[in-house]
A and B are shown apart, each in its own frame.
Chain A
Amino acid sequence: MSRLAYVGVLAFVVTGSAWLEIVLRTRVLRRFVRLVLALIPGMVIFVAWDAYAIAQGHWTFDFDRVLGWQVVAGVPIDEVLFFVCVPFAAILTLEAVRAVRRWPVGDEDSS
């Protein structure tokens, strides 16, 4: 059960933001290719940072509270998923604010 601790936190992040897609019509999942492409640079850079930080001893993970798979160099799969869930929530938030306030974001036609 406690192996689900980290992914449980991620579930909170996703459920806490995914409703915006329906209620505010953020239409982020409808732009799935753009979403995936937008997430890749952050994932690569931050997973590399994570691997470096683990190698340097900046931080460690409790391997009783993560799923138990290491992706690269001691980085748990849970942590890699963090770099999917948090940026996804950030994009949903940006699009939610735009949906409500209509402030320009920078990808409008005439920008």
Chain B
Amino acid sequence: MTYTQLGVIAVVAAIAIDLLGMRTRLVTRRVFWVSYAIIVFFQLVPNGLLTGFSIGRYSDDAIIGGATPLDRPPAFIGDGRLAFAPIEDLLFGFALVLLTLTMWVWLGRRGVQRTPMSGPPMWSDGDDRTD
């Protein structure tokens, strides 16, 4: 299978684990999508560095775009790439993040170090009495 196919399978599998397997239903929660929006932005940086500096190289058989050139960085955007990295990295990254957060929440729900809960932020010391 290609990276593209595996990426799609991984996303579907991660969503199935979240909704049906562990029933954490993160993909139905606002907190997940806001977190993911932050994560995906910052994922572009390491993925772009690793690909742009050719620490990892991709074969054109495996991805939508062309192979990483031998003598120069790949396209920054275009040719199936975003910030140098193949767009498949977004699928890979989404599946990795969703699976991890599903496990994290599931463990908490099962009582594995559910507490201490996060917060309040340093700056809101003292006015933490909203509930």
Known: A34-B112, A83-B96. Contact between A59 and B119, CB under 8 A?
Answer: no
CB distance from B99 to the nearest CB of A (A): 5
Q: Identify which of B53, B59, B104, B117 contacts A27 (C-beta below 8 A).
A: B117
Interface secondary structure of A, over-half rule: helix
Residues A62 and B56 in contact, CB atoms below 8 Å apart: yes
Interface secondary structure of B, over-half rule: helix
User: Using a CB–CB distance below 8 Å, which chain A residues touch chain B?
Assistant: 5-6, 9-10, 12-13, 16-17, 22-28, 30-35, 37-42, 45-46, 49, 53, 56-62, 65-66, 82-83, 86-87, 89-91, 93-107, 111
A-B contact pairs, 29 of them (CB 8 A): A5-B53, A12-B46, A22-B122, A24-B118, A25-B119, A27-B116, A27-B117, A31-B113, A34-B108, A35-B104, A39-B100, A41-B99, A45-B99, A53-B3, A57-B59, A59-B57, A59-B62, A61-B57, A86-B97, A90-B101, A91-B100, A94-B101, A96-B118, A98-B31, A102-B130, A103-B29, A105-B29, A106-B109, A107-B109
